[in-house]
Amino acid sequence: MNRPSPATAPRSGSLIDRLAGFAGDRRGIHALEFALVGPVFMLFVGMIFDVGILLYQQAMIDNANIRASRLIRTGQIQLAGGSVTPFTTQLCTDLTNIVDACTNIQYKVTSAAAFASLSSAVATDGHGNLTGKGTFTPGTSGQDVIVQVAWNRPYIVGWVGNFMNPGGGQVLVSTIAFRNELYN
């Protein structure tokens, strides 16, 4: 039975007749369903997009840390005077695909005679910064070294970031532990 829509229904009749007209009207149901499901769907799509980029950026930081740490492990930095410049230059060269990573990259290089004396715990302050950042002690021949590289990553899709972490970005950390080669 075709009922007239509420917009074309005659104005006469009781309130119950008018409500019955609305109940039988099916126009706009798809728009209502999308209004209920659409925002959740878009949030999930944004999260998938953001996590995909996060994994790519984490791989970039890991690879940059491996290449820069090799300069320490092989003694190239120590034999050149122990300056941090070749280390940070290598990191920045490898992180050119990450927006503004070179200006916000953090590192912590510590060394000791034995791994038991070193801690691989990632300690950050309330703003996502490594505590002790900028420490650069590459060690000497045969010493154990831990290199931590961190980047406080902003979310690509802002409203996904507001949902996942209302406090700000996300800290990506790469940690490598090794023993310096006997380069002397």
**Mean pLDDT computed over 12-30:** 70
* Sheet-wide strand order for 170-179: 105-112, 144-153, 170-179
CB 163 within 8 A of CB 127: no
Using one digit for the tens of pLDDT, what is the confidence trace for 91-100? 999 998 876 7
For residues 98 and 101, give the distance between their C-alpha atoms in angstroms, rounded to a whole number. Answer: 6
pLDDT at 4 over 80: no
152 touches 99 (CB < 8 A):
no
**Is pLDDT larger for residue 3 or for residue 119?**
119
**Per-residue confidence (pLDDT) for residue 3, from 0 to 100:** 58
Per-domain boundaries in the chain: 29-179
Contacts of 13 (CB under 8 A, 6+ apart): none
Structure tokens at 85: 């410049």
DSSP conformation letters of 40-104: HHHHHHHHHHHHHHHHHHHHHHHHHHHHHHHHHHTTHHHHTT--SHHHHHHHHHHTTTSTTHHHH
Burial class (CB in 10 A: 0-12, 13-18, 19+), 146: buried
pLDDT in tens, 114-153: 989 998 888 777 766 777 778 899 999 999 999 999 888 8
Q: What is the DSSP track for 89-158? A: HHHHHHTTTSTTHHHHEEEEEEEESSGGG------B-TTSPBTTTT-B----TT-EEEEEEEEEEPPSSH
